Amino acid sequence: MKARLLDQQLLIDLARLDGVIRAADAARRNPAQSARVSELLSERQAQSAVLTGLLGDRDDARTELARLESDVALVDARTARDTERLAATSNAKEAQGLEHELVSLAKRKGDLEDAELVIMEKLETADAAVAQQEAVIAEINAEGARLSAEGKAAVAAATESWDSATRDRAALAARVPADLLGLYDRLAARGVGAGELRQRTCGACHMVLSGTDLQTLRQADDDEVAMCPECGAILVRTPESGL
């Protein structure tokens, strides 16, 4: 194929814009933050399950403490009743029975209060564990919110870049002869369509051309559309090609 060298050189910018478009499209479809956000969602789910268990333990401790407090209240009420009856009775046998029951109630209250102390310590530990776990989840949520905001900003920036590069590409493509553009587009559909030959290196695949290939290019007319022998992209010659 024949094409003016100046027209061929337009393909260098066209390939650059296509690279920008591909990168911007990938960035807006899958921003860099997406993977970490997905990890955080899974981590939050796992940590929330842990929190559910800790809340259950704390609720159990609270229920047990409430039961013990209720039992202590019942013992206190019965102690007060028996003390009142003891003060009012003149029956020695009844008094002896009440005194015995008051001793038993005092022991029962002591046992309940000891159990309360154990449960209160357990509840304090449970409260601390819940608070710590809630802090862990809060950190996950904060990081997730920050990354989500960054991701949205990145998508917006990538979309703007894509729109701008797409407009510039359309304007540039309009300047390229139809047959040359058609060849470029077919090649670009499978990879990079064109690359500048710079210092004997293909800009599309970054391979250094052999001496034989360079000699062939030296002998070719300026308007001959050359192809990279390595990657098949259009090889655009410039004063920097090193021929």
Model pLDDT for residues 190-236, shown as the tens digit of each residue = 989 999 999 899 999 999 999 999 999 999 998 999 999 999 999 99
CATH at 83: 1.10.287.1490
Share of the chain above pLDDT 90, in %: 91
Predicted confidence at residue 3, as pLDDT, reads: 94
Structural domains in the chain (count): 2
Predicted confidence at residue 241, as pLDDT, reads: 85
Bin 199: left if φ > 0, else alpha if -120 < ψ < 50, else beta: left
The C-alpha atoms of residue 96 and residue 100 are separated, in whole angstroms, by 6
**100 with 146, same domain?**
yes
**110 with 196, same domain?**
no
Classify residue 142: in a domain, yes or no.
Answer: yes
Classify residue 31: in a domain, yes or no.
Answer: yes
Give the range of the structural domain holding residue 76, as residue numbers without chain letter: 27-173
**168 with 191, same domain?**
no
Classify residue 242: in a domain, yes or no.
Answer: no
List the structure tokens of 144.
Answer: 């997730």
The pTM of this model reads 0.70
**130 with 59, same domain?**
yes
Q: What is the mean pLDDT of residues 126-144?
A: 97
Query: Residues near 72 by Cβ (< 8 Å), separated by ≥ 6?
Result: 109, 112, 113, 116
Residue where a domain terminates, one of 133, 158, 173: 173
**130 with 53, same domain?**
yes
Residue where a domain terminates, one of 173, 203, 224: 173
**94 with 201, same domain?**
no
Residue where a domain terminates, one of 150, 173, 196: 173
- For the chain, the average pLDDT equals 95
**124 with 200, same domain?**
no
Is residue 243 scored above 80 in pLDDT?
no
Predicted confidence at residue 240, as pLDDT, reads: 85
**143 with 183, same domain?**
no
Could you tell me if 14 and 176 are in contact, meaning their C-beta atoms sit under 8 angstroms apart? yes
